[in-house]
Amino acid sequence: MLFSSITFLYYFLPLTGLVYFLAPRRMKNAVLLLCSLFFYAWGEPKYVLLMAVSIISGYIFGLLIEKYRSQRAGQVLCGISVAVSLSFLLYFKYAGFFVNNFRAVTGWDIPVLQIALPIGISFYTFQIISYTVDVYRGDAAQKNLVSLAAYIAMFPQLIAGPIVKYSDIAEQLDKRQHSIAMAAEGIRFFIIGLAKKILLANQLGELCNVFRASEEKSVLFYWLYALAFVLHIYFDFSGYSDMAVGLGQVFGFRFVRNFRYPYISTSITEFWRRWHISLGSWFRDYVYIPMGGNRVGRGRHLFNILVVWILTGFWHGAAWNFMVWGLLFAVLLMAEKLWLLDVMKKNRVFSHIYVLFFVVLSFVIFNANDMGQAFSDIGGLFGAGGIEMVSAEALYCLRSFAIVLLIGCIGATPLVSKVFGWAMRQPLCSKVLNVAEPIALAILLLVMTAYLVDGSFNPFLYFRF
């Protein structure tokens, strides 16, 4: 069930909210869990059992790790718990990739595995791992299975994040406050995220599809596609994350923000502090720092970066283009650590151009079906194969999508937020905006509902991961 669907907006969410707020405090986690399981079963009924097994496994291991964590057995149990969680992820997400590549290398006639990918498995697996590792590090294990299951299966962040670490909301699971002000702020976040998704990401995604279907490609068309996809993936994913954060607030939870205007970054290092923040934090806390982080020699430090970014690429998908995507960022980050940051500090204009150039190239690789298409797309950006610079179809698409592209470019910066913040600090403006904002949000919701009723293009990219 998509957040950006009539079923979710006008049936599931109102009924869930009604039942949740009518339930007594001690039953709220149970209501949230049952509604979350129904939400998941709507699209993946056969994989509810897999998620339940994963949750129960994490719950049992958590109790055992807490009991024995002062002994060698605690470390062993923590390792087994992580291995069990990863085994589910490796089988369902990566078994086909490994088998197909083994066939290609050896020539052996091994049956090709056709395994459906359970939605959200990358996200909830990482949350279970964070829970058991945090318990091993000293956090109290959750004794209430329902509360732990509610944390793992919570529908706002179940299928596309953000990756919420158990330590961040452990207290909120047992004691959280609900207020009209917090719910109103959450609804505002949700509607703005929904607008990012429907009014921007979906329109930009249509341009990407037009490009793929075109037989009249040109250098201009390749760059239009690259720009459109860079904006599309940002508004698609950040919009969904904003919706998740907003829904969390409605139900009394404070989730971390997942995006902070990454395209204004002046280094790749800064970019990854602003993009998919919860994933970067997870790899930092559970892979990079345990490997030694930057508290080791230079060679080992660079090796740690390489490992983390190959894993980050692989987390996104079982394909070589994701591995190359992660490797590209690893190389750039290592170059920045060694010498490039010092150069970039002297020229901010160069730094912005450098970041945007490599981010665009990286996401062209990211969105390719395979490495062959990735090379072809990158070549097209630079006129490889003798393609023409401009085509009639490219100019038509530029005219048709110019306003959406312009709004997307502005919306990917903090300009609108800063102007709104400045206006709210002006006494007269703030009074007008306090009245106008709820009306504007209501109108925005009606407009987006019309788009959904019309059956407009409405996929969600991160369901692939």
Cα distance between the two ends of the chain: 16
Q: How many residues does the chain have?
A: 465
Name the active-site residue from 232, 276, 301, 316. Answer: 316
Work out the number of other CB atoms within 10 angstroms of the CB of residue 75: 13
Place of tokens 């509902």: 449
> Which two structure tokens, joined as six digits, stand for 275?
């993009």
- Is residue 239 within 8 A of residue 196, CB to CB? The reply is yes
| Distance separating alpha carbons of residues 61 and 163, to the nearest angstrom | 20
| Distance separating alpha carbons of residues 351 and 394, to the nearest angstrom | 29
Torsion angle, alpha carbons of 322, 326, 328, 331, to 10: -160
Torsion angle, alpha carbons of 64, 66, 71, 73, to 10: 30
| Cα dihedral across residues 285, 286, 287, 289: positive or negative | positive
- Residue 285 three-state SS: helix
Work out the number of other CB atoms within 10 angstroms of the CB of residue 342: 9
Alpha carbon of residue 433 to chain centroid: 31
- Is residue 229 within 8 A of residue 204, CB to CB? The reply is yes
Q: Comparing C-alpha atoms, which of 219, 229, 234 is closest to residue 401?
A: 229
* Angle in degrees, 0-180, between the axes of helices 371-381 and 219-250, rounded to the nearest 10: 120
Separation in Å, CA 87 to CA 20, 51, 99, 164: 34, 13, 15, 21
| Cα dihedral across residues 287, 142, 179, 195: positive or negative | positive
Task: Classify residue 158 as left (phi > 0), alpha (psi -120 to 50) or beta.
Answer: alpha
* DSSP string computed for 95-138: HHHHHHHHHHHH---PPPP--PPPTTHHHHHHHHHHHHHHHHTT
- Residue 69 three-state SS: coil
> Which two structure tokens, joined as six digits, stand for 303?
């090796």
Respond yes or no: is residue 301 known to be catalytic: no
| Distance separating alpha carbons of residues 252 and 17, to the nearest angstrom | 12
Cis peptide bond upstream of 162, omega within 30:
yes
- Which residues are marked as active site? 316
